[in-house]
Amino acid sequence: MDDNTAITSPPPVCQLSPEQIAGPYFRNPKLIRRNISEGMDGIPLVLRLTIVDAMTGQPVTGAVVDIWHCNARGAYSGWSKVDPDKEVDVDAIGSIPRTDDDTYLRGGQFTDQQGVVRFTTIYPGFYAGRALHIHVAVRITAGNNYLEERHVAWVGQLYFPEVASRTVLNAREYRGRGTCALNNEQDEFYQGMGGEASTLNVHAIGRDSNEDGFFGHMTIGVDTFAVSSQIKPEDFDKYTV
């Protein structure tokens, strides 16, 4: 081969991240904000997610990334009066009537030029029958009515390393529950829907105490042309959402 011949490498391709169910507690409160904690008690968590096109490896810019999760005691805003120590039999969006209009631990951010969103929240607790997790949805926006955009391209759940979670669950805000959290391997959705590939990289922020909180990060590969089967356009019309 001629030494002067230019060699071009194909663009990097990112693995498509596994989708998981949206669960019954999805809402569309249209809240664009970085800090979603609303003063909830719990160990601080700084979350950074990088959204890339799984076909090209390039950052996905201008997408809306929504996250939602339970508080330290296992309750979701909108369903604060549902007992988190008792298992529910339903997983579909809209299957559990809302009990309130609270909005804690929910919100969305636009991805920047590097495909990154950042959230300030708390480390989630758990509810009966599940491991600790955070729900995520990625909406590919088109036009100016971004908060009305119903095209959800990807839906997933993010899990935590067991060592960090054990530390958190021993903290005052998380103790004294009527049931125990499942570990990741016991969680049917972690096991059956690619949970290992959806586990956050988590690091303690402080050197001396975990009470300073944790930093979690992950890269999520999505198909920008996909339409998720987990949150469908008609789900936005359900009265609970």
pLDDT in tens, the chain (241 residues): 444 444 444 445 568 999 999 999 999 888 999 999 999 999 999 999 999 999 999 999 999 999 999 999 999 999 999 999 999 877 789 889 999 999 999 999 999 999 999 999 999 999 999 999 999 999 998 766 666 778 899 999 999 999 999 999 999 999 999 999 999 999 999 999 999 999 999 999 987 777 789 999 999 999 999 999 999 988 988 877 7
- The H or E element that residue 52 is part of is strand 44-53
Structural domain including 132 reads 44-113+123-237
How far is the first Cα of the chain from the last one, in angstroms, to the nearest whole number?
Answer: 61
- pTM of structure: 0.92
CATH of the domain at 159: 2.60.130.10
- Using CA atoms, how far apart are residues 153 and 146, in angstroms rounded to an integer? 14
Residue type, 153: A
Burial letters 135-144, b for 16+ CB under 10 A, else e: bbbbbbbeee
- Are 168 and 123 contacting, i.e. CB atoms less than 8 angstroms apart? yes
How confident is the model at residue 5, as a pLDDT?
Answer: 44
Tell me if 25 is assigned to some domain. Answer: no
What is residue 3's predicted lDDT score, i.e. its pLDDT?
47
Specify whether the CB–CB gap between 120 and 43 falls below 8 A: no
Question: Is there a contact between 185 and 165 (Cβ–Cβ < 8 Å)?
Answer: no
Q: How many residues does the chain have?
A: 241
- Which pLDDT score is estimated for 92? 87
Q: What is the pLDDT of residue 144?
A: 64
Per the domain annotation, does 135 fall within a domain? yes
- Give the Cα separation of 56 and 216 in Å (integer): 25
- Please indicate, yes or no, if residue 38 is contained in any of the structural domains: no
Q: Is 50 among the domain residues?
A: yes
Q: What does the buried/exposed string (b/e) look like for 202-214 if buried means 16 or more CB atoms within 10 Å of the residue's CB?
A: bebeeeeebeebb
- Contact between 74 and 166 under an 8 Å Cβ cutoff? The reply is no
Confidence at residue 12, expressed as pLDDT on a 0 to 100 scale: 53
- Beta strands 116-122 and 201-204 are unpaired
Residue 104 has a pLDDT of 98
Would 158 be classed as within a structural domain? Answer: yes
Answer yes or no: is 10 within a domain: no
d(CA 136, CA 21): 10
Q: Domains in the chain: how many in total?
A: 1
Does residue 6 lie in a domain region?
Answer: no
33 in any annotated domain: no
